[in-house]
């Protein structure tokens, strides 16, 4: 085709040159022009054929490209299947059955406990034998679990039976006292004394001096107390105490167990023995139980260590059978740790103990860590004062308590009050979490008719979630070190408005009250940083103290109701400035705003039958 086009172009060029030459000579060019014009018709026909061939070539090229693309797509699919199969092969190679971590019965135990099933699996393959054995193990463990449940239920029945018998025996005491008072004339007639001498058990005399003093003080307080708020007993074996005393007298013949070691002029050395042998506690210790019988009781185990010359206390809770709320497992640790400010039990408060331990290649920190690891407790300063042991605290203040009866009674009463406060707090948290309380019927609800909001959620959150909130109240920190916190989130809803409350409860409660941070979501997010009304609401909630409450009121419930009513006041006063009024005035207040700060009427006052909210 190219040749034909070139030939036609050459002929057309020659015709044009012939026409040009004839024109220059003055000859006629009509015939030449007609012939040249006909050449254009042939050229047009050739051009059309060229276009048809180009189009056929493009169609063929497109068809071949489609074939190539299809082949490439099939290749990619095959490559993907290959990679997937390789991954499956690797996964199969790395597969590990979960039964490898189980402790299965040995062959002998399996044959003895399940002889019929052991005979049945001889005809199976190794894999099917293993599956068969796992199935048998599952059935055997289910049977053992049923037996365990039956034994546990029988144990609970026996415990209930023992408790009922114990309560019957306790009920005999009033009848015996009545009988004793009724037979007093007979005793007088027979000249018999009703005053029984106080005789200590034989094991008490083997107590170390500090524990002996403490036990005598506890016994005297228990005898003069009208209410049996605590009990004390000596725990341990007399034979072990006698053996330890004989070994000590044999090793140190001039040492008397009733005389302090500092008065003998000889220093008690432990040599290069291990820490466990050096810090062996005395075989006898005191078990102090605080709480009435039949209720939750706090059990304190008080031990004495000769090496560090101080006593330690470790506590645990005994919950009654009818108790439906149990506080946090760490609350006993927090109770003892924050009984007095800056007395955390993290050091040994004995004068000169650092020097004596250094002579034995030990440090006070090692001893404290060992006591904590072995659940022996901590050497608090208040415990040493109960045992009449002189102490030096972290501020280098010397203290030696002499009025033991009064001081010990004060410490036990403080522990009992703290225990009661923590139990009441745990009941409040449980009631709010599981919503098994009626907010309208609580006596902390000062205005039941105006409760417009509803508490829809109360959940525990992490420490990081609480501190992600921004508020000025977080800048105020307590001076007491070692305080930990439990954080919660409450959601209060009224209509389209929602308020998030972030609550932080310190471990030294009730020395420090729960802290509330409030965020209101209604026409935007309102916090104490961008809205002074929310800041005042936070202050009004956090300013509540136990002295502002009625007897037996709950601090957490009272704070919750303060927050709810403040939220209602905020919505009703803020809604009056909106174009569309969503919340009408329901609370009795005189003025929605007061002074230049435009404070809201959050405070509730009641005089006789007149009650209202004011700034």
Average pLDDT, the chain: 80
CB of 217 closer than 8 Å to CB of 232: no
Higher pLDDT, 591 or 561: 561
Query: What is the torsion angle, in degrees rounded to the nearest 10, for the CA atoms of residue 34, residue 35, residue 38 and residue 44?
Result: -120
Exposed, middle or buried by CB within 10 Å (0-12, 13-18, 19+), for 479?
A: exposed
Is residue 252 scored above 60 in pLDDT? no
Exposed, middle or buried by CB within 10 Å (0-12, 13-18, 19+), for 578?
A: exposed
Q: pLDDT per residue over 331-346, tens digit each?
A: 788 888 888 888 888 8
* Cα 550 from Cα 537, distance rounded (Å): 22
**How many angstroms from the chain centroid is the CA of residue 543?**
26
pLDDT tier, 267 (very low <50, low <70, confident <90, very high otherwise): very low
What pLDDT does 597 receive?
56
Q: pLDDT per residue over 398-457, tens digit each?
A: 788 778 888 899 999 999 988 888 888 888 888 888 887 777 777 777 776 667 888 899
CB of 238 closer than 8 Å to CB of 202: yes
DSSP 458: E
Partnered with residue 259 across adjacent β-strands are none
Two tokens at 47?
């051009």
Two tokens at 343?
């007395």
* Cα 314 from Cα 333, distance rounded (Å): 8
* Cα 320 from Cα 149, distance rounded (Å): 22
Q: pLDDT per residue over 78-133, tens digit each?
A: 999 999 999 999 999 888 877 777 777 777 777 776 666 555 656 667 778 778 88
What pLDDT does 423 receive?
86
Partnered with residue 518 across adjacent β-strands are 501
- State the sign of the Cα–Cα–Cα–Cα dihedral 573, 578, 583, 586: positive
- Cβ neighbours of residue 157 closer than 8 Å, sequence gap 6 or more: none
**Which H or E run contains 287?**
strand 285-290
CB of 384 closer than 8 Å to CB of 377: no
Two tokens at 364?
């006070």
E strands within 436-514? 454-461, 485-494, 497-506
Interhelix angle 532-542/555-575, nearest 10 degrees: 160
Mean pLDDT, to the nearest integer, of 238-253? 72
Is residue 388 scored above 70 in pLDDT? yes
Select from 286, 450, 310 the least CA-distant residue to 392. Answer: 310
Two tokens at 436?
């098994």
Higher pLDDT, 130 or 153: 153
Q: Distance from first CA to last CA of the chain, Å, rounded? A: 104
The SS3 call for residue 132 is helix
Burial code (b: 16+ CB inside 10 Å, e: under 16) for 186-199 equals eeeeeeeeeeeeee
Is residue 199 scored above 70 in pLDDT? no
523: left (phi over 0), alpha (psi -120 to 50) or beta: left
- Cβ neighbours of residue 62 closer than 8 Å, sequence gap 6 or more: none
CB of 538 closer than 8 Å to CB of 585: no
CB of 567 closer than 8 Å to CB of 541: no
What pLDDT does 272 receive?
37
């Amino acid at each position: 085709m190219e040749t034909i086009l070139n030939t036609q172009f050459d002929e057309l060029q020659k015709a044009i040159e012939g026409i040009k030459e004839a024109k220059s000579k003055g000859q006629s060019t009509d015939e030449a022009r007609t012939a040249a014009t006909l050449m254009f018709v042939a050229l047009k026909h050739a051009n059309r054929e060229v276009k048809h061939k180009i189009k056929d070539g493009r169609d063929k090229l497109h068809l071949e490209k489609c074939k190539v693309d299809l082949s490439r797509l099939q290749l990619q699919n095959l490559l993907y299947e290959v990679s997937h199969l390789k991954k499956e092969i690797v996964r199969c190679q790395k597969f590990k059955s979960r039964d490898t971590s189980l402790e299965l019965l040995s062959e002998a135990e399996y044959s003895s406990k399940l002889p019929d099933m052991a005979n049945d699996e001889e005809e199976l393959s190794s894999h099917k034998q293993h599956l068969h054995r796992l199935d048998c193990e599952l059935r055997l463990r289910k049977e053992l679990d049923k037996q365990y449940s039956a034994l546990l239920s029988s144990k609970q029945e026996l415990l209930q039976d023992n408790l009922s018998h114990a309560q019957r025996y306790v009920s005999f005491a009033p009848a015996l006292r009545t009988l004793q008072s009724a037979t007093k004339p007979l005793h007088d007639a027979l000249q018999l004394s009703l005053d029984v001498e106080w005789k200590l058990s034989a094991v008490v005399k083997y107590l170390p001096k500090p524990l002996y003093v403490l036990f005598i003080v506890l016994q005297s307080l228990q005898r003069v107390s009208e209410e049996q708020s605590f009990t004390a007993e000596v725990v341990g074996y007399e034979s072990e105490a006698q053996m330890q005393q004989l070994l000590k007298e044999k090793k140190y013949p001039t040492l008397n167990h009733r005389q302090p070691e500092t008065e003998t002029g000889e220093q008690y050395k432990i040599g290069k023995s291990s820490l466990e042998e050096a810090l062996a506690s005395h075989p006898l210790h005191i078990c102090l139980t605080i709480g009435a019988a039949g209720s939750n009781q706090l059990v304190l185990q008080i031990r004495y260590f000769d090496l560090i010359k101080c006593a330690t206390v470790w506590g645990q809770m005994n919950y009654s059978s009818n108790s439906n709320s149990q506080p946090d497992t760490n609350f006993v640790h927090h109770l003892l740790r924050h009984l007095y400010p800056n007395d955390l039990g993290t050091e040994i408060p004995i004068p000169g103990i650092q020097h004596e331990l250094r002579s034995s290649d030990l440090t006070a920190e090692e001893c404290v860590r060992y006591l904590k690891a072995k659940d022996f407790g901590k050497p608090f300063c208040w415990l040493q004062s109960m045992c009449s042991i002189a102490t030096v605290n972290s501020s280098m203040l010397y203290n030696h308590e002499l009025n033991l009866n009064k001081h010990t009674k004060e410490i036990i009463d403080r522990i009992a009050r703290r225990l009661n406060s923590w139990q009441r707090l745990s009941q409040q948290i449980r009631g709010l979490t599981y919503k098994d309380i009626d907010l309208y019927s609580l006596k902390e609800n000062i205005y039941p008719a105006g409760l417009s909001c509803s508490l829809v959620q109360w959940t525990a959150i992490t420490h990081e979630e609480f501190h992600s909130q921004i508020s000025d109240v977080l800048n105020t920190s307590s001076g007491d070190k070692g305080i930990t916190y439990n954080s919660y989130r409450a959601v209060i809803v009224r209509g389209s408005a929602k308020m998030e409350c972030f609550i932080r409860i310190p471990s030294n409660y009730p020395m420090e009250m729960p802290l509330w941070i409030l965020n209101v979501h209604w026409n935007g997010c309102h916090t104490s940083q961008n809205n002074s009304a929310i800041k005042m609401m936070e202050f009004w909630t956090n300013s509540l103290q136990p002295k502002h409450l009625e007897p037996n009121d709950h601090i957490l419930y009272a704070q919750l109701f303060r927050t709810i009513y403040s939220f209602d006041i905020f919505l009703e006063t803020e809604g009056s400035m909106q174009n569309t009024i969503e919340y009408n005035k329901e609370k009795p207040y005189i003025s929605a705003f007061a002074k230049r700060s435009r404070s809201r009427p959050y405070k509730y006052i009641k005089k006789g039958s007149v009650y209202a909210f004011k700034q």
